[in-house]
Amino acid sequence: MCGIVGYIGDGHAKDIIIEGLKKLEYRGYDSSGIALYIDGKIQVRKQMGRIANLEAVITEKEFDSHLGIGHTRWATHGAPSDVNAHPHGNGDETVAVVHNGIIENYVELREWLSREHGVKFRSETDTEVIAHLIGIYYDGDLVDAVYRAVEKMKGAYAIGVVSSHEPDKIVAVRKDSPLVAGLGEGCNFIASDIPALLRHVRKIYLIENNEVVVLTTGDIKIFNQDRKEVHREVFHVTWDAASAEKDGFDHFMLKEIHEQPKAIEETLSRRLDADGLVKLDGIRMTKEDIESFQKVYIVACGTAYHAGLIGKHAIEKLAKIPVEVDVASEFRYRDPFVDDKTLFIAISQSGETLDTLAALREAKRKGARVLSVVNVVGSSVARESDDVFYTWAGPEIAVASTKAYTTQLVCMYLIALFMGRTKGSLDVETYQSVIRELSAIPEKLRGLLTKEEEIDAIAKDLYRCESVFFIGRGPDASVSFEGSLKLKEISYINSFAVAAGELKHGTIALIEQGTVVIALATQERLFDKMLSNIQEVKARGARVLGIAKEGNVGMEQQADWMITIPDCHDDVAPLMSVVPLQLLAYHIAKLRGCDIDKPKNLAKSVTVE
């Protein structure tokens, strides 16, 4: 969601902060702003729209400093506008605040500030409340004022604070929203995410919940909510910053689609030994543990939830344990039946998804064993889990997830294989067969990606559509949900997916002459059923794009367009069938002139409810 960058040091704060904000553009935003300490005052500039708009109003040479904070906003309270953009200040503009998250009791605080202290608010945001609270509580000690303000606040937040009274420090706080601090030479940083800092620092402090960070030019100190200093080990970042560049592709999304063979190879190689057996290093799960699990919950949001649906197929088939998949925002509020005989699997690319994190904490509170599947090392979900399975997808910058999804699928297959073999519910022959199929996926995907021109040609026929239906059965239905999500995310076409057997229970009423239906039929045992469903929509005038395995004559005879995937075992087909859907969504969005990497209203890391 919102992005935060702060800098204090002997360099040029303006340029460093703007550069960091650009590295956080993938989080999604509608405005940006910066606050710098200049000539004894806090100077603020902010603009609606892209960061280029902000850069246009901070061209003056004297607008620079040793100290500053910056922000990219994804609107929650108040529409996108210059006024609602961050940073926000108090009445006399001696305090400036940037904020990621939501202050749940901001209405109550706003009324109290207006009534008791005569505060006049300039914006519609919850964030402005924080600035006024700190200003009111300030009595010569900025850190104390921040602590006192935080005591009044309810919700999830990461905040960065500067004051003209104390231009030698930045104060930051984290509660349920991501925050890191970067340790430099003669300078220090805060940020919402590590990529914002990689050009300047590799030594990172991962800030935990309810911690306050105080940055000066030469030091970073971390304190807990009792105001006692916390000594934290430095996290050394080993990522290649260059991997976050486009490498000649028009968009990050297209680059990341083409990176999937390598990402899958990386994820597999980390978890398969020389004999091709699954090894879950660092995951302490014994035969007795697995036998004790009476149920598995897979909980996630969006694309990660769709990966969980495939995970359900894999675990139930290979490990013979009942699985329930739930949307994190629903799980956390419905008092689910979870106990110490439950394995809770959280899936999150960023590891900072607020609803998933809250669901994880609820499951832990009830005694569940927590295994997380995440892409970001050191993220909140990873740190709060009993065991972590990293996806090794590498940095994913485009808002619409692609390689994170396919590597999440690989993780779910490997978890299912490990559990099934350890438990004894999976015979050696099937175990080895699935591993061989998984190992063959990267090379098959490389071949599939050569069909991009063919998919682009189909996109030219479809990009003017305003509604599209996706259908499938079994794992194909789960992939259909992800294909539909990709299309609506980046092209803004009204699309939705339905299990093909459900067509007759309402959805078929919407099928008329010219309706586009994308039909997935990669499951051999369900293929005849899918042909029947295709015939049903064709009889009502639908135009059908079929996704099937190579050599499938039945689909060729029925579909108006067809994309084939390499032959493979049904169980691993989702790893390939989703890729044409990703490419189709990309090329349709490109033809429609959409902002593919930064679709409207969306954010990469959803850190609010």
Is the peptide bond between 87 and the residue preceding it cis, with omega within 30 degrees of 0?
yes
Determine how many CB atoms are found less than 10 A away from the CB of residue 384: 18
Q: Which amino acid is at 40?
A: G
φ/ψ region of 52 (left if φ > 0, alpha if ψ in -120 to 50, else beta) reads: alpha
Any idea what the Cα angle at residue 278 is, between residues 371 and 445, rounded to 5°? 95
Residues 6+ apart with CB under 8 A from 327: 299, 300, 301, 305, 355
| CA–CA distance, 412 with 420 (Å, rounded to integer) | 12
Residue 9, token pair as written in the block? 């040091």
Is 187 one of the catalytic residues?
no
Torsion angle in degrees (nearest 10) through CA of 234, 235, 240, 241:
-70
What are 374's two structure tokens? Answer: 């995440």
Q: At what angle do helices 127-137 and 142-152 cross, to 10 degrees?
A: 130
Residue 284: closest CA among 154, 145, 438, 387? 387
How far apart are the C-alpha atoms of 249 and 501, rounded to whole Å? Answer: 39
604 is catalytic: yes
Q: Locate tokens 């063959």: which residue?
A: 440
**Residue 52: other Cβ atoms inside 10 A:** 10
State the Cα–Cα distance between residues 22 and 3, nearest whole angstrom: 9
Q: Is-contact 26 604, C-beta < 8 A?
A: yes
From 2, 187, 301, 594, the catalytic residue: 2
Strand spans (E) along 201-279: 203-206, 211-215, 220-223, 229-230, 235-236
Residues 6+ apart with CB under 8 A from 437: 568, 569, 571, 572
Catalytic-role residue among 46, 175, 312, 604 = 604
Which residue type does 287 have? K
CB 580 within 8 A of CB 451: yes
Backbone angles phi, psi at 466, to 5 degrees: -115, -5
Of 81, 77, 1, 94, the C-alpha closest to 40 is 94
Catalytic site positions: 2, 604
